[in-house]
């Protein structure tokens, strides 16, 4: 009777470790900028995107979907332990992982080209008093 329980415990541990593969690490993010900041002007219109260094695992991408502003970690979900930063494509509908060739939609972060299977990590975006943008987790 002890062996089935032990086997179940081992299988549970293996499945949990596989579930962690491809996950972008959790790090504290607290980016704030004035809406007058020249970097933020790039996201004033639908389809506008900007890369911000120094936040998250590999930097941030802020993108205007036309109805809201979204923020993603630039760390690719393909081999995230490499912390390969995705680059915004032209036109700004997708971002490409230069290490694997994977592509991600900037509208919702989902993979649009293999080998990516998981979306980009998304962060919370708030507009404070119509003056400041904040990206947090």
Question: pLDDT value at position 21?
Answer: 56
Number of domains the chain is built from: 1
The three-state secondary structure class of 63 is strand
Give pTM, 2 decimals.
Answer: 0.83
pLDDT one-digit tens code per residue, 12-56: 443 333 445 568 999 999 999 999 999 899 999 999 999 999 999
pLDDT one-digit tens code per residue, 77-125: 999 999 999 999 999 999 999 999 999 999 999 999 999 999 999 999 9
Which residues on adjacent β-strands are paired with residue 96? 87, 103
For 14, phi then psi, to 5°, come to: -65, -45
pLDDT one-digit tens code per residue, 61-70: 999 999 999 9
Distances, alpha carbon 136 to alpha carbons 27, 31, 122, in Å:
10, 7, 10
Q: What's the token pair of residue 119?
A: 């979306």
Residue 106 structural domain: 23-136
CA–CA distance, 72 with 62 (Å, rounded to integer)? 7
Q: Is residue 82 part of a domain?
A: yes
Q: Is residue 12 part of a domain?
A: no
CATH number of domain containing 90 = 2.102.10.10
């Amino acid at each position: 009777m002890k062996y089935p329980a032990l086997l179940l415990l081992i299988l549970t541990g293996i499945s949990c470790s596989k579930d962690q593969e491809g996950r972008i690490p959790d790090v504290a993010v607290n980016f704030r900028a004035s809406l007058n900041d020249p970097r933020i002007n790039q996201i004033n219109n639908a389809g506008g995107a900007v890369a911000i260094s120094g936040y998250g695992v590999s930097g941030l991408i802020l993108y205007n979907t036309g109805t809201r502003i979204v923020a993603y970690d630039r760390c690719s979900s393909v081999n995230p332990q490499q912390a390969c930063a995705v680059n915004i494509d032209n036109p700004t509908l997708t971002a490409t992982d230069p290490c694997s060739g994977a592509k991600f939609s900037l509208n919702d972060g989902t993979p649009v080209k293999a080998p990516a299977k998981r979306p980009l990590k998304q962060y919370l975006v708030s507009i404070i008093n119509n003056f400041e943008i904040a990206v947090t987790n």
